[in-house]
Structure 1
Amino acid sequence: MSSKFQPVLIIGGSGVVGTHAAKIIRRLHPALPIAVGGRDLGKAEAVAREVGGAIGVSVDLGRADLGLGDEARFSAVVIFLKDEKLSSMRYAQKHGIPYISLSSGTFEVGPEVAQYIHAPDTAPILLASHWLAGAAIFPVLDFARAYEAIDTIRIGVLLDEQDMGGPAALDDYNRITGLAPAALTVKDGKLHWAAGEDSKARYQSVDGVELDAVAYSPFDIMALAARTHAGNVRLDLAYSVSASRRRGDAFSTEIVIDIAGRGKNGEPLKQRHEIVHPEGQAPLTALGVALAVERMLGLAGGEAPRAGLYLPEVLIGADYYVRRMKDFGASFAEGKVTADAA
């Protein structure tokens, strides 16, 4: 196996989602070398053997060189956990290689933006802390092509109680839900932070069952506000039992998208779309990371981007992303439009 690239370093690559990501990268690009990084070298090496064409490395986020030395060894850095010191980002900037971040809440994006601003010409930085690394925003943008203008985007997501993933994912969830003072939404054309009673919602699962939900603000909200100019944008998270588990099967993950606006013919248009992955959130998150890696390296979608600050939807085509979601097991269906979808 040969490649013009050095290995892609996946920090947290021996975790649940990181392992999925490494396997999907291998499936999409069989010759691309991968370095599975983690605190436990033995576990990282075991995952590397399972993936094939990979190595395991020990990563220490407490060190500026990540415990990897100062020589250039990698073609990109992906991190699946919160790096409070931004050591991994500075490492990527020092070596001039792409950096992909996945674990920041909207309210805590400032430090990464500041780090980029102080070294803007060193490396391409991709902030991909969207819901499941893009599994909601890209379908929204694909569906949005049917509209002349959009008034409302309402996203409901269900994370099954048995589908949290590994310790890093749980840490992110607890940190973001515990520290965020409120959830960013767009209401009547204005940025609005929903808190208290305002943050509560109801989520209608794909089998029609209604569940308690709460406003949640991954990067999708600010990105959709910038991209679509919709006057109302909100994402509600239900942490409960998925429809598949209610009927006795294994857990799944669900994304329900309601869009209301004016169609290309000038008439009012409301649509509801339901997306399900039968294996839960990990495969979709991992796919989003794999598509980000291939785009940042110029393996799909055009030449590798220059140094800059990016969001995934600026670089990756929505139609391509949705096609890949279907290729990797996600099902798409039209849902029944409800009265509160507008």
Structure 2
Amino acid sequence: MVGGYGTVGAELARLAAPSWPLLLTGRTVARGEALAEETGARVERWDLTGPEPFRAGVRAVAGVVNDPDDRVLRAAIRGGVPYVDITRWTARLQRAATVAALRGPTAPVLLSSAWMGGVSSLVAAALAEELGGAETVDIAVRWDLKDRAGADSVEFMDRLGLDYEVTEGGQRRTVMPLSDVRRVRIGPHPTKVARIDTPEQFTLPLALGTATATTRIGFSSAASTSSLLAVKRLGFFRWGRGERFTSARRALLYAPGEGGTARLRIDVTHGGRSRTATVTDDAGQAHLTAVGAMLALRRVLGTDGAGAPRGVLFPEMTPVPARVPDLLAEYGVQLESGTA
């Protein structure tokens, strides 16, 4: 596990420790020592910003920290080791998929950076299985500002000044972040949500043939959502780009609390029918992301009820979509589904 003792990494380590022996890596070994003792893991230093090579005899590699130069990806491919990554925004996922495809990996490469470690895509695949396809997928996220969060969890704030491509009606078009505001009921909460750039909007049309894929985000505080939209209207995310304003951008949302509830809603339509599902994790966003990463590890290792895959893949390419509700339930994640 690269970045194995951050906020999400620690959650994943606790989930994975009963199944496999773990090696946790990061820049500061001392930060991982308590978690290593708790989980029975080893901990070693690997600074992804440095030139030093790193080698280890492992069964799989999970990237839970940003890998901007694809060092972890390249090392896993070079070693013929199954690889899972949950950290990439869309452009970096596109590059990683290209790098992996050109290198012809002999072990699976699962790029599971869709929302919450690929959970959004897994649920979309499960609903698509019920309907026989997925013409449209709409995902609405409720971000709980009271929840625990790592510093990288609000990295998407750095992308709010950049237009991005989506697929709508089978055509590619460019949209603005925080546009197309809607009010959606996510669990018991009516939530104002707006567009955000997430990888599943790129991968769902490729993997499921989705003609329209949209992800929007809103916050547990209506005032925070309104403030963010107001700042966007003032053009802050355009003129406030670059490293100079990074701390100011992230401070708009990064105020981690003691714990909250992770919720998202997925709506899928196909052939005139529709299905909706609400995902709830009372253990919070970091835990739900770790569950996504855990299911990704099980996929590349072939321990999720199907054989291990080959090549480059995305979470919605699961061969066992009907098992997704049960797989989530194993880790305490609730999935309520019905007609939209």
Sort the TM-score into its range (normalised by shorter chain).
0.7 to 0.9
- Change in Cα spacing, 1:115 to 1:208, as seen in structure 2 (3 Å) is closer
Q: Give the counterpart of 1:142 among 126, 138, 142.
A: 126
For the Cα contact (< 8 Å) 1:45–1:57, is it kept in 2? no
Q: Distance in 2 between matches of 1:300 and 1:39?
A: 32
- 1:257 is matched with 266
Amino acid corresponding to residue 158 of structure 2 in structure 1: R
1:319 maps onto 2:305 in alignment: no
Is 1:235 the equivalent of 2:215? yes
- Structure 2: which amino acid aligns with 1:61? L
- What do residues 90-144 of structure 1 show as CA deviations (whole Å, max 9, x unaligned)? 2212222122222211133343234224421454322111111121121222122
Alignment correspondent of 2:183? 202
Counterpart Cα distance in 1 of 2:164 and 2:324: 26
Task: Compute the TM-score of the two structures, normalised by the length of structure 2.
Answer: 0.80
- In structure 1, C-alpha distance between the alignment counterparts of 2:132 and 2:30, rounded to whole Å: 54
Q: How does 1:141-160 map to 2 (within 5 A)?
A: 141-148=125-132, 150-160=134-144
Residue range with higher mean Cα deviation, 39-48 or 198-207 = 198-207
| Partner residue, 2:45 | 58
Could you say if the C-alpha distance between residues 192 and 126 of structure 1 is closer, same or farther in structure 2, counting changes exceeding 3 Å?
Answer: same
The alpha carbon displacement at 1:269 in A equals 2.3
SS of residue in 1 equivalent to 2:88 = coil
Selected match of 1:40 from 12, 20, 28: 28
Instruction: Give the letter aligned to residue 143 of structure 1.
Output: L
Aligned to 2:331: 328
Taking a change above 3 Å as real, the CA distance of residues 113 and 135 of structure 1, as seen in their structure-2 partners, is closer
The two structures, once aligned, show a CA RMSD in angstroms of 2.6
Matched with 2:171 is: 190
Q: 2:63 maps to what in 1?
A: 79
Task: Sort the Cα spacing of 1:279 and 1:241 in 2 relative to 1 into closer, same or farther, 3 A.
Answer: farther
* CA shift for structure 1 position 155: 1.3
Q: What is the letter of the counterpart of residue 29 of structure 2?
A: L
Q: Does the C-alpha gap of structure 1 residues 192 and 204 become closer, same or farther in structure 2, counting only changes over 3 Å?
A: farther
List per-residue Cα deviations over 1:39-69 (Å, max 9, x = no partner): 11112121111112x1111111134554x4x
The 3 A distance-change label for structure 1 pair 74 and 261 is closer
Q: CA deviation at 1:335?
A: 6.4
- Relative to structure 1, the CA distance from residue 34 to residue 205 in structure 2 (aligned partners, 3 Å threshold; closer, same or farther) is same
CA distance in 1, matches of 2:202, 2:171: 11
**Identity among equivalent pairs (%):** 23
Distance 1:270 1:198, change over 3 A: same
Q: Tell me the distance in 1 between the aligned counterparts of 2:294 and 2:149.
A: 18
Give the drift of 1:36. 1.2
Question: In structure 2, do the counterparts of structure 1 residues 131 and 276 end up closer, same or farther at CA, with 3 Å as the change threshold?
Answer: same
Gaps of 5+ in 2: 223-257
Amino acid at match of 1:173: F
By relative contact order (CA 8 Å, sep 6+), the higher-ranking structure is 2
Whole-angstrom distance in 2 between the partners of 1:108 and 1:240: 28
Cα distance, 1:183–1:160 mapped onto 2, change above 3 Å: farther
Q: 1:246 maps to what in 2?
A: none
Match status 1:88 vs 2:97 = no
Match of 2:255 in 1: none
The alpha-carbon distance between structure 1 residues 58 and 144, as it changes in their structure 2 partners (threshold 3 A), is same
CA contact (8 A) 1:99 1:125 kept: yes
1:3 aligned partner: none
> Aligned residue for 1:340?
none
Match status 1:18 vs 2:9 = yes
The range that moved more, 43-52 or 116-125, is 116-125
Q: Which residue of 2 aligns with 1:245?
A: none
Aligned equivalent of 2:292: 288
Cα gap change, 1:20/1:199 in structure 2, threshold over 3 Å: closer, same or farther? Answer: same
